[in-house]
Amino acid sequence: MTEESLQAFIQKYKDIIDKRLPELIDSLETPPNLKESMIYSLNAGGKRIRPLLMLAVLKAYDSLFDDAYDIACAAEMVHTYSLIHDDLPAMDDDDVRRGKPTNHKVFGEAIAILAGDALFTRSIEIMASETNSLSPEVKIRLISEFVKASGPEGMVGGQAADLNGEGKSLSLEELEYIHHHKTGDLLTYSIVAGAIMANAPEQDIEKLRSFAKALGLVFQIKDDILDVEGDASLIGKPVGSDDDKDKSTYPSLLTLEGAKKKLAYHAQEAKETLSKVSGNMALLNELTDYIVERDH
């Protein structure tokens, strides 16, 4: 896999996801400002990492099919819903996300809360009702993994732990609990869902789950490093904003150099785990490098 082909993969499938996401909302019969609010945040950019990981796994098994795009969009919708709720005044109180006003700054807090709620219900509706090429067994397995990753033992639990930890000095263990759940579980879901839809061997699914956990840490450590030394115009928020909020981060616990070492360690761990999976994992290997080396 050359870098050109990775970039071609990202561009091709990011375009498909970017185009499909608003279509999946636009067809709804719902109050116009609620619909606009949902579409606004889906269209506000983003790397589409979760859909791309899911599609990359499907390609690794040569098993990409049409309904998989909508399952990939559902994962992006839940990510978007979590960002809308995280940005609320009662939560992180962010006015800007990816260089644009946050949802509640445009549509008001009440509609922003409901837009998040609606994106979540819509994501499940797509999985349950609008992907007819999947068997009920596969749908139920996907939905089970999805809600476990998104709920009180997953993303929402991680967000609560993150809020509880604000202004406190966390241990590395507490910080990793937060990241495993707040961002890691949905990344892991995306990879595992690709493998389930590809009908991958069960031992591959479990190895990909381990790979995904390491990749999730890589992703978060890199985010924390970018918050210290990134370019504000690329990352879409002010550099040093974690520090301003008195949040524990990998650099604050381990120093910037220590965080970079840990990033390299988990990147290596991820790639070694990946090497033990059957199927053609070259693209996922490249995606791992891309996540390590990204500048936003």
Coil, helix or strand for 28? Answer: coil
Longest pairwise C-alpha distance within the chain: 52
245 binds its own copies (CB under 8 A): no
Which of residues 44, 53, 77, 113 is near its own copies by CB under 8 A? 113
The verdict on 253 binding its own copies (CB under 8 A) reads no
Which residues are CB-contacts of 240 (< 8 A; sequence separation ≥ 6)?
A: 227, 228
Asked if residues 216 and 187 have their Cβ atoms less than 8 Å apart, the reply is yes
Closest approach, Cβ 232 to its own copies, in A, equals 26
Of positions 69, 120, 211, 219, contacts its own copies by CB under 8 A: 120
Nearer to its own copies, 116 or 194 (CB): 116
Report CA 222 to chain centroid distance, whole Å.
14
Per rule CB under 8 A, count of chain residues that contact its own copies: 50
33 binds its own copies per the rule CB under 8 A: yes
Q: Which helix or strand (DSSP H or E) is residue 100 part of?
A: strand 100-101
* Contacts with its own copies, 205-244, as mask; x by CB under 8 A: ----------------------------------------
Nearest Cα residue to 219 out of 244, 173, 186 = 186
The reply on whether position 106 binds its own copies by CB under 8 A is no
Question: Long-range contacts of range 104-110, CB-CB < 8 Å, 24 or more positions apart?
Answer: 106/37, 106/40, 107/33, 107/36, 107/37, 107/40
**Near its own copies by CB under 8 A, which window of 26-34, 207-215, 232-240, 253-261?**
26-34
**From 45-53, 109-117, 192-200, 263-271, span contacting its own copies (CB under 8 A):** 109-117
Q: What's the angle, vertex CA 69, arms to CA 107 and CA 278, rounded to 5?
A: 135
Beta bridge partners of 96: 101
Q: Which residues bind its own copies (CB under 8 A)?
A: 25, 28-31, 33-35, 38, 85, 88, 90-91, 108-111, 113-114, 116-118, 120-122, 124-125, 128-129, 135-137, 139-140, 143-144, 147-148, 150-154, 156-157, 159-161, 163-164
